[in-house]
Amino acid sequence: MNMHIRSRFKHYFNKYIVESMQRKLMGTLLLVMMVPLLIFMLISTHISRGAVESSEISSNLSRMELSNSYIEEQLNWYNDFLFSALVDDKLVPSITTMDNISATNVFNTQSYIKDKLFGLYNGDEDILSVKLVSYGDRRFYKVENKDFYIENEYDEAKNNEAKAAIFKVDPETNSFTLARNIYRFEDQKLVGKLEMQVSFSFMEHIAEKLQSNEQESILLLDNHGNQLYTPIENDQSIKISEDISTKLNTPKGTKYFTKDKDYYFFQELMNEQIILLKVVPEEVMMVGAVYIGQTGIAILLISIFLTIILSIIVSNQVAKPIVALSRKMEHVEENNFSVEIDTSRSDEIGHLNRKYKEMINRIKELIEKDYKREMENRDAQFLALQSQINPHFLFNTLQVISGMALKRNAKDIYAMTQKLAFMFRYITNKRGDLVYMKEEVNHLNNYLYIQKVRFGDNISIHLFVDEAVNEAIIPLLTLQPIIENSFKHGFESQIEKGHLKIDIQKVFDEVEIIIEDNGVGMPIQVLEKLRGKISSNIESQNRSIGLKNVDSRIKLYFGREYGIEIFSKESEYTKIILRMPYQKGSELNEYFINRR
């Protein structure tokens, strides 16, 4: 198989490259000019890819640091906002003296707490709830979904007594809580806790600025790699594997890494409790390099195009005389001997042109002599054929005339005799081998009249002639010999009634003649043998005007692509289709002058 492929490749390479001086010259020019350009494009594309990657990494790191600052600033604002609520001298008494005051004061105190909590709750749209816990009387107050709740039986351990803000993430609600303990000023006793739950949705506007492409993903993770929140809806699903989670928690200076052709940029927030992660696909990172590569490809294609044009111009200037001679040789192969060959050059190519022109002239003279000899032979054959009359046909015609003389009056005999006289005159009155179609059809009508009288009701004849073909030219005695075969071979031995159909019409730029009868037909062996005789170049020794003679004359005058086709089936039908070009009588002389 490999040997065959190499052999085919070698064959086409020799045919289209090695054996063509023009292509070899073009190929050499292309190689000399394109190889350095291609190497330069590959190197520059590689360098630009690295430069674009470095630039994109630096840009994303800067954006991540800036976003980290924005988020930290926002979290500090929530912390300061919560702390500002503690700086109130009424807050501690309101959660430590509830059991020692009157009912009116209890109502006023609860109203105060309610207003305080609602003030915090309405402070920002991302705040989900605010809760105040009193450890002394085990109560807690809560504002959530714009409702105020009080629970008198509250049991929560004082598990964190830090004075700083307490930060806690809630993955189930995509939120976090900020809490601050409340201490009584006199003895610094822990008496309660103020807690605010905030949704991570406050990061939406920050993520929008951080995301520069729809294919990028912004995620908020906890320190275990669990996804807390996705600020912006993404079509693609990002799965944080253990390998990625490990890299996020590995201390290192660079805040990015690559995994599976994706780039991961991250920043830790709130003492590394939260990780802001940005995932950028490689195709997004390298979009600038892709544009540079596309521009380079466009420049390369333009360069190739210009190089090809230049190589064509140069190769044509160098190999033009030989290429021109080669093309003219191809025209001569198509029997076009009227090509013009430049013989003005005095070098070796001019000598070659002169010798080739002399050879063409000699070939042309030999062909013309052979063609004239063939035409003279054809004319002699046709003159001989014109002078003969089918004895069988004459005998039958005379028999009919004799019978009519006994049985009918002189008018029928007169008509029969007239038709026969017209036929003789048409055959013997030589006006050239080409006639108008209307003349050939008129002769055919005379012939069909005689045959109709001869066969009587045993045969029906249908003749259709398209008026568009009346002025078309056709070789003399083309139709009668074909139709005569239908009577001679198709109807004479047939018992059933015969049907003969003749259609003559113009089909596009051709004349199509279809002759069909329901005679005895031909076996397939006889049909193939007849087709072989017609298609062969061997001259028939039969002196009758038959199908072979008609087909040969059509091909002689109009070309090998025209002629006769025969179709037949034994005991059913025989169909003959004759095709020739549609040529009017006014175009006759010009047509044949050009052919000769």
Q: Kindly report, residue by residue over 405-445, the tens digit of the pLDDT.
A: 656 666 677 677 777 777 777 876 656 788 999 999 999 99
Mean pLDDT throughout 239-247? 65
Task: Tell me the CA distances in angstroms from 303 to 45, 289, 296, 544, one per residue in order.
Answer: 16, 20, 10, 72
Q: Band the pLDDT of 596: cuts 50, 70, 90.
A: very low
| Pair 460, 590 in one domain | yes
Q: How far apart are CA 335 and CA 333, in angstroms?
A: 5
Q: Which of 168, 175, 226, 223 is nearest to 203 (CA)?
A: 175
402 φ, ψ to 5°? Answer: -65, -45
- Answer whether residue 448 is part of any domain: yes
- Answer whether residue 102 is part of any domain: yes
At residue 546, does pLDDT exceed 60? yes
| CATH code, domain carrying 470 | 3.30.565.10
| Pair 141, 253 in one domain | no
How many domains does the chain divide into? 3
Mean pLDDT throughout 57-66? 82
| Pair 108, 194 in one domain | yes
Q: Band the pLDDT of 3: cuts 50, 70, 90.
A: low
Higher model confidence: residue 262 or residue 507?
507
Q: Picking from 6-15, 114-123, 425-434, 435-444, which range would have the lowest pLDDT averaged per residue?
A: 6-15
494 φ, ψ to 5°? Answer: -100, 140
At residue 198, does pLDDT exceed 80? yes
User: Mean pLDDT across the chain, nearest whole number?
Assistant: 76
| Pair 194, 219 in one domain | no
Higher model confidence: residue 155 or residue 106?
106
Last residue of a domain, one of 149, 168, 202: 202
Task: Tell me the CA distances in angstroms from 591 to 384, 554, 581, 584, one per residue in order.
Answer: 26, 14, 11, 10
Q: How far is CA 251 from the centre of its chain?
A: 54
18 φ, ψ to 5°? Answer: -65, -40
Q: Picking from 82-86, 206-210, 468-472, 573-577, which range would have the lowest pLDDT averaged per residue?
A: 206-210
At residue 501, does pLDDT exceed 90? yes
Higher model confidence: residue 235 or residue 509?
509
Higher model confidence: residue 419 or residue 479?
479
| Pair 432, 565 in one domain | yes
| Pair 101, 227 in one domain | no
Task: Tell me the CA distances in angstroms from 229 to 203, 241, 259, 276, one per residue in order.
Answer: 10, 16, 21, 10
Q: Band the pLDDT of 592: cuts 50, 70, 90.
A: very low
At 114 the pLDDT is 84
Q: Band the pLDDT of 108: cuts 50, 70, 90.
A: confident
281 φ, ψ to 5°? Answer: -65, 155
At residue 543, does pLDDT exceed 50? no
Q: Picking from 203-212, 481-490, 496-505, which range would have the lowest pLDDT averaged per residue?
A: 203-212
Structural domain harbouring 529: 427-595
Q: Picking from 94-108, 122-136, 248-262, 384-398, which range would have the lowest pLDDT averaged per residue?
A: 384-398
- Answer whether residue 556 is part of any domain: yes
Q: How far apart are CA 313 and CA 331, in angstroms?
A: 23
- Answer whether residue 477 is part of any domain: yes
- Answer whether residue 146 is part of any domain: yes
- Residue the block writes with tokens 């890299």: 247
At residue 356, does pLDDT exceed 90? no
Last residue of a domain, one of 239, 264, 285: 285
Higher model confidence: residue 406 or residue 555?
555
Q: Band the pLDDT of 140: cuts 50, 70, 90.
A: confident
Task: Tell me the CA distances in angstroms from 187 to 17, 89, 194, 222, one per residue in order.
Answer: 103, 15, 19, 37
Q: Which of 579, 542, 546, 583 is nearest to 564 (CA)?
A: 579
At 444 the pLDDT is 93
| Pair 533, 567 in one domain | yes
At 474 the pLDDT is 93
- Answer whether residue 120 is part of any domain: yes
Task: Tell me the CA distances in angstroms from 434 to 91, 478, 481, 507, one per residue in order.
Answer: 128, 10, 16, 21
At 125 the pLDDT is 86
Return the bridge partners of 319, or none: none
Mean pLDDT throughout 370-390? 59
Q: How far apart are CA 95 and CA 139, in angstroms?
A: 9
At residue 132, does pLDDT exceed 90? no
Task: Tell me the CA distances in angstroms from 10 to 16, 23, 26, one per residue in order.
Answer: 10, 16, 19
Report the 10 Å Cβ neighbour count for 442: 13
Q: How far apart are CA 509 and CA 582, in angstroms?
A: 5
Last residue of a domain, one of 285, 318, 343: 285
Q: Which of 16, 5, 182 is nearest to 83 (CA)?
A: 182
| Pair 553, 531 in one domain | yes
Higher model confidence: residue 324 or residue 280?
280
Q: Are 289 and 3 in contact (CB under 8 A)?
A: no
| Pair 481, 546 in one domain | yes
At 10 the pLDDT is 62
Q: Band the pLDDT of 595: cuts 50, 70, 90.
A: very low
At 138 the pLDDT is 77
At residue 394, does pLDDT exceed 60? no
| Pair 185, 270 in one domain | no
- Answer whether residue 353 is part of any domain: no
At 438 the pLDDT is 93
| Pair 197, 217 in one domain | no
At 593 the pLDDT is 41
State the first-to-last Cα distance of the chain, in angstroms, to the nearest integer: 51
Number of helices (H), then strands (E), in the chain: 16, 18
At 235 the pLDDT is 47
| CATH code, domain carrying 185 | 3.30.450
Tens of pLDDT, residues 250-308: 656 667 787 777 888 888 877 777 888 888 887 777 766 667 777 777 887 887 788 77
| Pair 562, 456 in one domain | yes
- Answer whether residue 112 is part of any domain: yes
pTM of the complete model = 0.43
Q: Are 285 and 61 in contact (CB under 8 A)?
A: no
